[in-house]
Amino acid sequence: MTLMLKRFDQPDLSCLGDNKALAIAAFGQSVAAYRYMVLAEKAADPPLCAGLQEMAARENNRRTQLQTLQEKLFSSACFFLDSHEKNMVCVGPRILDARDQAHFDDALKLLIASEKRIAGFYARYAAQTGRSEIKEIFTAFADESLQRVSLLRRMGQDIGRQINEPCPLQFLRPTTHRQ
């Protein structure tokens, strides 16, 4: 099975408020944590399993940081995220199919693509927000997401898999509003 991902056009983030951006980011971290845990359960290689479990725990910690910041800055904020907003930080379905090696490879590609997408979201939103707390955490999380891309690739190589995924890194640089 070959996984085909559509090219993702970067959404206009200028219409988002800081409160909504934090909600979207927390959603992305929550999905990432869940996906890492699912893959950890399916990983046959013990070091890979441990690495994915550690990544899941870190994603949960990041989600908590974002939710804490949102509560501090916007205590009454409550959002429904539509599919467009969810797609700003995630690639593919929330629930991953990793029942065999081919599906596991595809799930790993989705994780890498999602890490790239959320890194782009963080970097682009950090460039436009006026709040230093959000700029700081989003900039740090963008860098950490790109580090996870390298780590996931390395983890795949360590188990003998060459994971080539779409979504080149040049799409992650902050851009101005596109029409």
**Annotated domain spans of the chain:** 18-169
Residue 106 banded pLDDT, cuts 50, 70, 90 = confident
- One of 3.30.365.10, 3.30.450.40, 1.10.490.10, 1.20.1260.10 is the CATH number of 18-169, namely 1.20.1260.10
pLDDT of residue 42: 86
pLDDT mean over 18-33: 94
pLDDT of residue 138: 96
Q: Is the per-residue pLDDT at 4 higher than 60?
A: no
pLDDT of residue 55: 95
Q: Helix, strand, or coil here: 178?
A: coil
Out of 73-77, 104-108, 137-141, the most confident range is: 137-141
Pinpoint the alpha helices (H) of the chain. Answer: 18-42, 46-73, 83-86, 101-128, 132-158
Share of the chain above pLDDT 90, in %: 49
Q: Which amino acid would we find at residue 51? A: G
End-to-end Cα separation, the chain, in angstroms: 36
- Residue (of 14, 154, 28, 170) closest to 90 by Cα position: 28
Q: Is the per-residue pLDDT at 70 higher than 70?
A: yes
pLDDT higher for 136 or 177? Answer: 136
pLDDT mean over 150-170: 72
pLDDT of residue 129: 95
- Residue (of 64, 70, 69, 155) closest to 115 by Cα position: 155
Digit-coded pLDDT (tens) for 45-66: 899 899 999 999 999 999 999 9
CB 151 within 8 A of CB 35: no
Digit-coded pLDDT (tens) for 84-105: 899 899 887 777 777 777 678 8
Question: Which two three-digit tokens encode residue 29?
Answer: 């971290």
Q: What Å distances lie between residue 36 and 29, 86, 166, CA to CA? A: 10, 18, 19
pLDDT of residue 156: 83
pLDDT mean over 122-144: 96
> Tell me, what DSSP letter sits at residue 55?
H
Residue 71 banded pLDDT, cuts 50, 70, 90 = very high
CB 7 within 8 A of CB 83: no
